[in-house]
Amino acid sequence: MQPAQKPNPEALPRLLLIDDDEVLRRTLVRYFAPTFDITAVPSAEAAIEALPKGAFDVVLSDVHLQGMSGVEFLKRLREHDLDLPVILMSGEPGLEAAISAVEYGAMRYMLKPFDLGELRNALVRAVSIRRLAVARRESLELIGHDAQAAGDRAGLIALVENAIRSLRVAWQPVVSWSRRRVVAWEALMRSKITNPDALIDSALTVGRIVELGRAMRDAVAAAGELAPPGDLHVNLHPQELLDDALYDSSTRLSRLASRVVLEITERSSLEKIPAVRDRVARLRKLGFRLALDDMGAGYAGLASFALLEPDAVKLDIALVRDVHKSPTRRRLISSLLAACKDLKCACVAEGVELPAERDTLADIGCDLFQGYLFARPDFAFPDAKF
Ligand code: G
Ligand code: MN
Task: Indicate whether residue 85 lines ligand 1 (CB < 6 A).
Answer: no
- Find the angle CA(120)-CA(124)-CA(125) to the nearest 5 degrees: 115
Q: Is 179 left (phi over 0), alpha (psi -120 to 50) or beta?
A: alpha
CB distance 42 to 74 below 8 Å: no
Q: For the residues 160-187, what does the mean pLDDT come to?
A: 96
Residues 6+ positions from 204 with CB-CB distance below 8 Å: 237, 239
- Write down the pLDDT at residue 339: 78
d(CA 154, ligand 2 centre) in Å: 29
The region of weakest confidence among 82-86, 102-106, 141-145, 344-348 is 141-145
- The overall average pLDDT reported for the chain is 87
CATH entry, 14-142, from 3.90.180.10, 3.90.1720.10, 3.50.50.100, 3.40.50.2300: 3.40.50.2300
- Write down the pLDDT at residue 221: 96
d(CA 225, ligand 1 centre) in Å: 23
Atom of ligand 1 nearest to the CA of 373: 19
- Residue-wise pLDDT for 273-307, tens only, equals 888 889 999 999 999 999 999 887 665 456 677 77
- Residue-wise pLDDT for 109-132, tens only, equals 788 788 999 999 989 988 887 777
Q: For the residues 338-367, what does the mean pLDDT come to?
A: 94
CB distance 171 to 378 below 8 Å: yes
Q: For the residues 302-320, what does the mean pLDDT come to?
A: 84
CB burial readout 176-208, b (16+ within 10 A) else e: ebeeeebbbbbbbbbbebbebebbbebbbebeb
Q: For the residues 237-264, what does the mean pLDDT come to?
A: 96
- Write down the pLDDT at residue 1: 40
Say what the pTM is: 0.74
- Residue-wise pLDDT for 5-61, tens only, equals 454 556 899 999 999 999 999 999 999 999 999 999 999 999 999 998 888 999 999
Ligand 1: residue whose CA is nearest its atom 10: 188
- The DSSP code for 259 is G
Residues 6+ positions from 35 with CB-CB distance below 8 Å: 12, 13, 120, 123, 124
d(CA 371, ligand 1 centre) in Å: 7
Write out the DSSP string of 113-163. S--HHHHHHHHHHHHHHHHHHHHHHHHHHHTT--TT--SSHHHHHHHHHHH
Nearest of 9, 204, 201, 164 to residue 79 by alpha carbon: 164
Residues by chain with Cβ below 5 Å of ion ligand 2? 235, 263, 293
**Into which CATH architecture does domain 166-369 fall?**
Alpha-Beta Barrel (3.20)
- In the predicted structure, residue 212 carries a pLDDT above the cut 60: yes
Higher-pLDDT residue of 4, 74:
74
Q: For the residues 371-386, what does the mean pLDDT come to?
A: 97
Nearest of 225, 232, 260, 267 to residue 246 by alpha carbon: 260
| Cis amide bond preceding 3, omega within 30 | no
Domain map (residue ranges) of the chain: 14-142, 166-369
Task: Indicate whether residue 353 lines ligand 1 (CB < 6 A).
Answer: yes
d(CA 186, ligand 2 centre) in Å: 7
Higher-pLDDT residue of 259, 107:
259
The region of weakest confidence among 141-150, 269-278, 333-342, 369-378 is 141-150
State the Cα–Cα distance between residues 188 and 350, nearest whole angstrom: 13
- In the predicted structure, residue 82 carries a pLDDT above the cut 60: yes
